Amino acid sequence: MTLAETAYFSLRNDILHGRLIPGQPLRLEFLKKQYGLSFSPLREALNRLHAERLVVNHPPRGFTVAPVSPAEMQDVMSVRILIESEALRLSIEKGGDDWETDVVAAFHRLDLQSRRMKDAEGAADDDALMQFETRHHEFHRALLTACGSPRLLALFEQLYAETQRYRLPSFRGEGHASSARDLSVEHSNIMEAALARRADTAVDLLRVHYNRTAAYIINAS
């Protein structure tokens, strides 16, 4: 991994997990001390994150962590639904045995973690939440991997990261354990519809799933 990649992944991870908060200035001198990297890889990382809409640049003030707002979150979620709906339809059309196996395996891993968190008392700790988040990403990506379009998958990754900034903070505090939603059932229903090749149903369930998440985030903020 190059120094620029190290800078990129370190900054991206800290933005997504709220260690660098929305609106926070990202001055090079501060970042150099924080990450032990020189200005050149940090600039490259900031430009890459700017292209992904995770940071903004306002010359001459420089880079800051991109702001968040309910309107911005709704916009990102709406575009995500559009992109993933098309990718899911294509995966259902093109996916074979390997795709079905990967979807089932990803769901099983996610379901195990989801149930552990539901059974736990109180708020989920960071380790449990990060494990859930990793498996959640793997499941939603598995649904789309047979779409045959690298660009659709790249857009999925970008939009997933943008919504992740909103989801992770909202899942701390009270956490999943106290949520009235049954995420295991929601994910299972999407999977079953996809595997049964019921594209319209799968897309409708995915849209409802994401709209519920958007409503949850707004209510939790």
Instruction: Provide the CATH number for the domain around residue 150.
Output: 1.20.120.530
For residues 111 and 202, membership in a common domain is answered with yes
Is-contact 216 147, C-beta < 8 A?
Answer: no
Is-contact 166 217, C-beta < 8 A?
Answer: yes
Return the H-helix or E-strand segment holding 55.
Answer: strand 55-58
* Domain closes at, from 18, 44, 65: 65
Q: Please report, for the domain that includes residue 22, its CATH number.
A: 1.10.10.10
Measuring CA to CA, which residue among 217, 195, 218 is closest to residue 95?
A: 195
For residues 42 and 146, membership in a common domain is answered with no
The pLDDT of residue 85:
98
Tokens 């707004």, located at residue: 218
For residues 142 and 56, membership in a common domain is answered with no
Show the CA angle centred on residue 46, arms to residues 54 and 154, nearest 5°.
55
Is-contact 210 77, C-beta < 8 A?
Answer: yes
Mean pLDDT over residues 79-90, rounded?
98
Return the H-helix or E-strand segment holding 65.
Answer: strand 62-65
For residues 60 and 125, membership in a common domain is answered with no
* Domain closes at, from 65, 89, 116: 65
Measuring CA to CA, which residue among 139, 199, 191, 137 is closest to residue 167?
A: 137
Quote the pTM value.
0.83
30-59 tens-digit pLDDT:
999 999 999 999 999 999 999 888 999 988
The pLDDT of residue 175:
45
For residues 207 and 194, membership in a common domain is answered with yes
Residue 53 DSSP symbol: T
Residue 115, number of CB atoms within 10 A of its CB: 12
For residues 121 and 23, membership in a common domain is answered with no
Show the CA angle centred on residue 161, arms to residues 155 and 166, nearest 5°.
135
For residues 124 and 90, membership in a common domain is answered with yes
* Domain closes at, from 65, 80, 100: 65
Q: 178 vs 120, which has greater pLDDT?
A: 120
**Whole domain around residue 83: which residue ranges?**
70-220
Q: Could you give the number of structural domains in the chain?
A: 2
Residue 173, number of CB atoms within 10 A of its CB: 10
For residues 129 and 204, membership in a common domain is answered with yes
12-35 tens-digit pLDDT:
989 988 889 999 999 999 999 999
For residues 55 and 85, membership in a common domain is answered with no
For residues 143 and 111, membership in a common domain is answered with yes
Backbone angles phi, psi at 183, to 5 degrees: -65, -30
